[in-house]
Amino acid sequence: MLLNLPATPIVFFGGKGGVGKTTLAAAFALHSAEQGARTLLVSTDPAHSAGDMLEVPLGDETSEVLPGLHAVEIDPEAEAERYIADVKERVRQVASPRILDEVEREIDLARSSPGAEEAALLDRFAELMRTAGGTYDRVVFDTAPTGHTVRLLSLPELMGRWIDGLVSRRRKVRSLGRMWRNVAGAAAGTAGREEDPVLDALEERQARFRAAREIVTDPKRTAFTFVLTPERLPILETRKAAAALERSRIPVAAVIVNRVLPPDARGAFLTRRREREARYLDDIDRELAAYPRVLVPLFDSDVQGVEGLRRVIAALEDGA
């Protein structure tokens, strides 16, 4: 794999909006595919520029864009619809007809709040992460701007804890129900029965969160790569996001500094910019010292299509 860049089955590219995440994720995925690894590029950025970058229309279904390189664009709204439809289907099997309409109304209400898309995205993420090492050798995520992604990746931990609490409460209800059943006999009704669909549903959730958490915190399987430009705000944001990921024990593997002025760029204006830039590069060295760093120069034209991505790959190869 590329020097200083992760070779794990799951690689996330994240960073502030507009720093070139999509370009680098696409270049990385292309390189990975050209090295012979079956690679899936997942775009989760609502702007969805991965398709524009590769000059092929991408959709909700995975499609092969180049030999060995597959790509998919996730649409949070469509994901939420699918998630809700799936929940309704499962509910239909257990709910009594008397309350079914009302249950469906409640589920539709839940659909309209923002948390639904987040939950649906997390589910799809988890599903795609499971394909790494199976259907694909590598899954590359081009993520939405920083804050959103960091939250999404820490969700399994946050939500998992809450679900853990619910599971232990429910177990307590069941064991008290069992005691009640022992002293009350038939009068206990359904209390303390062995089968408990609520506990089953919760434990399934718990298992899913645990699995997702195991994947994202395993440095052998997952690596997060930050993209930033040598400017003040991206540096600050990256530092904060890296700290947040460390707190959630999600491994950060590398930092890619994009659009560094090339040495042959001359003129009074560019010289002044380069002086400023040198200070920011020092800041990056100091404040993000814990992570390997890769420099990618600013090109004389914007990166477009497979040829453009090859230029980026070449720069990544000697940018360490």
For residues 54 and 137, give the distance between their C-alpha atoms in angstroms, rounded to a whole number. 20
- In the complex, minimum distance from the CB of residue 241 to other proteins, in angstroms, rounded to a whole number: 22
First to last CA, the chain: 13
- In the complex, minimum distance from the CB of residue 29 to other proteins, in angstroms, rounded to a whole number: 30
- In the complex, minimum distance from the CB of residue 183 to other proteins, in angstroms, rounded to a whole number: 5
Q: Please, which residue, 101 or 282, has the CB nearer to other proteins? A: 101
Q: Please, which residue, 67 or 185, has the CB nearer to other proteins? A: 185
Contact footprint for other proteins (CB under 8 A): 83, 87, 90-91, 94-96, 99-100, 102-103, 105-107, 110, 115-116, 118-120, 158-159, 162-163, 166, 169-170, 172-173, 176-177, 179-180, 183-184, 191, 197-198, 201-202, 205
Helix (H) or strand (E) segment spanning residue 27: helix 21-34
Strand ranges, E, within 44-118: 63-66, 69-73
- In the complex, minimum distance from the CB of residue 204 to other proteins, in angstroms, rounded to a whole number: 8
Q: Please, which residue, 190 or 301, has the CB nearer to other proteins? A: 190
In the chain, the amino acid numbered 65 is V
Complete edge-to-edge strand list for the sheet that includes strand 222-228: 63-66, 69-73, 39-43, 138-142, 10-14, 222-228, 252-260, 293-297
- In the complex, minimum distance from the CB of residue 111 to other proteins, in angstroms, rounded to a whole number: 9
Torsions phi, psi for 119 (to 5 deg): -60, -40
Q: How far is CA 90 from CA 87, 208, 278, in A?
A: 5, 16, 57
